[in-house]
Each structure stands twice: as C-alpha cells, then as structure tokens.
Amino acid sequence: MKLLKLLNKKNLSILISFFFLQNSYSTEPVDIWDLEKQSNQDTNSKNETIQNENLLPSSIFNIQNKIRNETSVDEEENLLSKNINIAGIYDPSDNDLSMEMWINSDGSKILENTNKIKKITLSKDASEILNIALLTNSYFPEKNINKEQFLKIKSDWLIKQKNLDLIETYVEKNKNLENQSKLIKYYIDYYLSKSDLGKACSIFEKINFNISDEYISKFNIYCLINSNKSEEAQLFFDLLKEQGFEDNFFEKKFAYLIGYDENIDNSISENTLLDFHLSHRTNSNFKFEPKSNTSKLIWKYLSSSNLLENIDFIDLKDQEKVFMIEKATHEKNYEEKDLFELYKRFQFNIDQLLNVKQSYKFLQNFEGRALLYQRLILTKDTEELLDLSLKLKESFIKDGIENAFDEELKKILSLVNEEEIPSNFSLFYIDEITPSTLKEENIKINNKIIHQSKLLKYFEDQYEVKKAEDDLNKLFKSIKKNKDYNVSIKDLIMVESLISDGVLISKKYKNMFKFGQSNVPTDIQLLLNNNESGMVLLRLVEIIGEDDLESLDPDTLYFIISILNQLNLDSIRNEILLKVLPLKI
C-alpha cells in the first residue's frame, strides 16, 4: 500500500508538471554518453520529475517533499548516483579519445594550465585542439577540482571564442546539465544586442532544467509574451513571485505588455540589456544618448536597432562625443565609412595640410587623425601615401581603437602598386594587406622527397597500411641510390608516424634513419605514462600558443607528432601532418 500511495503521488505530480510545462520544456533524455542510461531509465524519469516539480507552486513542493521522505535510502542513493558527470559535444571516438581522458588528471594542474592558456591569443590551430580537449564528451576529473570548476572552464572557453553556433550546440546536447546560466546569458544577450529576439528566445526550446537565474527567468517570460503565450507567461511570472522575486521595473513592463496596464512607463533602465530593450519597446518616442560608460551591449543594440545619432549632426567641438564615435567604430557599432565622413567635416587651413607630418602632432588626437586622413586621400605619391597610412594607424593604436581603421586602410593600400613600395614600408604593407588576399594552396606531390611523396595520401585515408608499406620500401630503394640525399626531421616525422600505424620497414633500409630523436619534455612524458590525454592536449595548446602549425620549427613538430603517436591520436596527428609536411603551391 505504501508503494501504491507513493506511485499515486508521483503520477499526480508528473501530470501536473506535464500540464503546465509541456510547451516550454522537453523531457527527452539527451545524455548519449551515459553507459548506464538503459539500466537506470526508471531512476532518470524520477529524477526529471523532481526537477520539473521545482517550478510548481508550494502545494506541489509539499507533494515532492513527501515523496522524498517516503523514498528508501537505496532509492536516494540511486538518485545521487545519477548526477550527470559527463558534458561535451564531440564523440570521443571521432578523435581517437576516450571518455576517461581526464579521469587520471590532477584538477589543480588543469586549472593551472587553463589559466595560462587564457592569457594567450591562440592561433586557429591551437584553438581547434583546445576545442577537442574541452568539448569532447568525457567524465569529469575527480581530484582537486569540482564539477562546477570544470564546467566553468568549458563555458569560459566557449564565450571567449564567441562561437554562438558552438554554444547553442553545447547547450542543446547538454540540456539536462545545470549551471549553464553564464552561457545562456551570453547567448541571449548576444542576439538581443543584434536585435534578433527570435534567435535569442530559441534557446529556451533547447534547455531542459530548472531555471534558477532571475535574469534568464525574466527573459523566458518575455519570450512567452512575445510568442503570444500569455497564460504560460503569467504562470511563470506567478511562480517567480512565489519564490520572492521583486523587480518593480520588470513588473511594470510585464503588466503593460500582457495588457493589465495601459499606462506607458517611459523610464529607461540600463541595468541589463533586457531592461534597456523593454524600455525601447514600450516607448514609441524612445530616445537615448549613450555615454562613455554605456555598456558595449547597449552600444551594439543601439547600432543594430538604428538608434545611434546620425554622424551629420555630431558636434565636432564635443571632444568626448567624437572620441566615443571613434571607440564605437573600433567596436564595430558605427561603420568605418561613417567615421571617415565625420573626419571630412573638420576644417583645416592650407598650411596644416601641407605640413601635415608636423601639424597633426599639435592637435587633439582625434583632430590629428582627421587631418592625416584628409591629407591621405589627397595624395597620389606612393611613399607619402604609405607614410601617412602608417602614422594614422599608429595614432589609432596609441588610443586603443586600432580596429576603427581596418577596412578603410585595406581599401587605401589596395590601390598601391606593389612594385613601387619602398623597402622600409614593405613589412607594414604585407601585414595589413596580405591576410585578405591569401589564396588557397594546393598540395604538390614530389616523390623524390619522403615527406612530400604520394605517401601523404595515406594520411588522407586514401591508402591501406599494406599499400603504404609497399610504396614506402620502394621509395627507400630509390632514395638509397642517391648518396646526396639527407634525411630531414620532416622525413623522420612521416616515417615514424607510418611505423606507429603498423607499417613495416625492410631491415636493409633501417640504417638510413636514426629513430627516437624527438625530445619530449619530461612533464609531458609523465602525463603520457599516466594516460592523461586531456592534459597532454592542454600542454600542446600551450606550446603552440599564438603560432600556426606551419610556422613551428621542425624539432617542435617532431616531438608534437611523437606525443600524438604515443597516445594513438591518429585523427589529430593526420590533420597536423597534412598541414606541415606537404609542398604547397
């Protein structure tokens, strides 16, 4: 009878939860990496029910408490054992990793290394490896680090990348995971700042846990109103109030939007981006002039909503406002063309324009930039154009607003004839113009050099091991005849990688090579011995740092590949080999 009573109460709570929340939350399990999911499916169902009950009124809390009190100790321990201890996006097998990649690692070392990495502006190659390290589905480390700290590392990295698609995927694939408030806040504020409310609200279709954060709860309520789901919005608002929520500004906006109060509240709040948006939406005569301390999100919102002041009406004598325009351009809230149109409005005499290289030094920084720009667009001489461009760029950099002169600078330099560029400006020109004109390079096969030979196709999965073995020994036969051939480190990298995959070398060719010359750092070798693949990847990210893989010296590449060979991380290794070994044209 006691069991029947318990089941009846549980069914009642499930029905009530389903009735109120079916349009806002999904109960479909998402944790595809939980190897115990099938055997504990009933326990999962009960855990999700209790999570959903946390959103219901006090009467439901009472039912929940009674259920917990009547649950046996064994059942409680079962529930606790089902705490989610896996989070990520990628299947471990995609990169030859395992779910235990962090199990043996010391959390204090993970925190130490990730803190070092935070201070580095990572190259694209390093970032890709860090994505694999942090976003592969894996068990959490257990020593000297807790779940929240490890999840924060993942969230901070996702936010630093500003990859909204990746954030959305992470949230969706880990929808039962608590403590995602920081990620969700970043996501909804990002899209709201771009005036894309629909995209911001779409995140609530992808989460499946009790929203305990007030800001996110308010945003969810607003999204329901915006979707004409007033009854659901009212329910969630009432639940929020029962939990002690007090926010006079939001409550007034809620009453107006839902139709309870026809009086328009014209007050403007900059406390949060949602508050600012609600201020705008509920005021048909909305006007706002940003200040130097106005948040970047609000600047972005003003820009995307066409609420920024027209450049033509900016008072050129207002130094603070002009610099704000420059800063806003640096942050891509104003278009560069608008800033340079503003510069054209400044009035200078002939003497200042003729002696620009001295005159600009005696003006306010923004006036000096305006003078340099006006003289720059008048000049036809290549050397003078480059000199003025460099001085103008340096002025922007000095004031920390270098991004305000990107597109316009490339446009100016594109008019320069490369053959006329003096040697003292060649580096400046290359740094500024080259990134936008790089062309995709094709691999050229050269069978006279081991690491540039057709064996590269093996690493593209176009060769079987047996064929690679035959072709390698044939290549050795032809190279051995060439007494002038010197085996390079890149040759060793390729050959050792093939051997690692099971390719056998004929005894008569083994004396051509001195294997095992890579000097793997001692600390990394210890990690390898302890099978700490996650930590090894962190160390590789730290070593690569700001550099592209192609720019690393051969010795560094050698020990990186040796490390990946020891861990059997062939997928990652092959990507690197195909970047650093081939001859490209």
Pull the structure tokens for residue 22: 């079916």
| Residue 440 three-state SS | coil
Q: Name the pLDDT band for 23 (thresholds 50, 70, 90).
A: very low
Task: Measure the CA–CA gap between 315 and 312, rounded to whole angstroms.
Answer: 9
Task: Measure the CA–CA gap between 505 and 470, rounded to whole angstroms.
Answer: 9
For residue 391, is pLDDT > 80?
Answer: yes
* Cα torsion through 281, 287, 290, 291, rounded to 10: -130
The DSSP bridge partners found for residue 139 are 86
- The pLDDT > 70 percentage for the chain reads 83
Residue predicted with more confidence, 175 or 529: 529
Pull the structure tokens for residue 217: 């709860």
pLDDT (0 to 100) of residue 290: 92
306: left (phi over 0), alpha (psi -120 to 50) or beta: left
Task: Measure the CA–CA gap between 523 and 385, rounded to whole angstroms.
Answer: 52
Tens digits of residue pLDDT in 221-257: 999 999 999 999 999 999 999 999 999 999 999 999 9
Tens digits of residue pLDDT in 546-559: 999 999 999 999 99
pLDDT (0 to 100) of residue 43: 42
pLDDT (mean) for 158-186: 89
Residue predicted with more confidence, 211 or 246: 246
pLDDT (0 to 100) of residue 438: 43
pTM for the predicted model, two decimal places = 0.76
For residue 68, is pLDDT > 50?
Answer: no
Tens digits of residue pLDDT in 74-116: 443 333 334 567 889 999 999 999 999 999 999 999 999 999 9
Task: Find tokens 């990002």 and name the residue.
Answer: 190
pLDDT (0 to 100) of residue 486: 85
pLDDT (mean) for 31-58: 40
Pull the structure tokens for residue 532: 């700490």
pLDDT (mean) for 185-194: 96
For residue 61, is pLDDT > 90?
Answer: no
For residue 516, is pLDDT > 90?
Answer: no
Task: Measure the CA–CA gap between 298 and 192, rounded to whole angstroms.
Answer: 10
**SS3 sequence of 321-347:** HHHHHHHHHHCCCCCHHHHHHHHHCCC
pLDDT (0 to 100) of residue 84: 62
Task: Measure the CA–CA gap between 59 and 239, rounded to whole angstroms.
Answer: 12
For residue 407, is pLDDT > 70?
Answer: yes
pLDDT (0 to 100) of residue 16: 38
* Cα torsion through 465, 471, 472, 477, rounded to 10: 150
- The pLDDT mean for the chain works out to 83
Tens digits of residue pLDDT in 348-371: 999 999 999 999 999 999 999 999
CA atoms within 13 A on the CB side of 154: 28
Nearest to 394 by CA among 357, 423, 422: 357
pLDDT (mean) for 11-37: 39
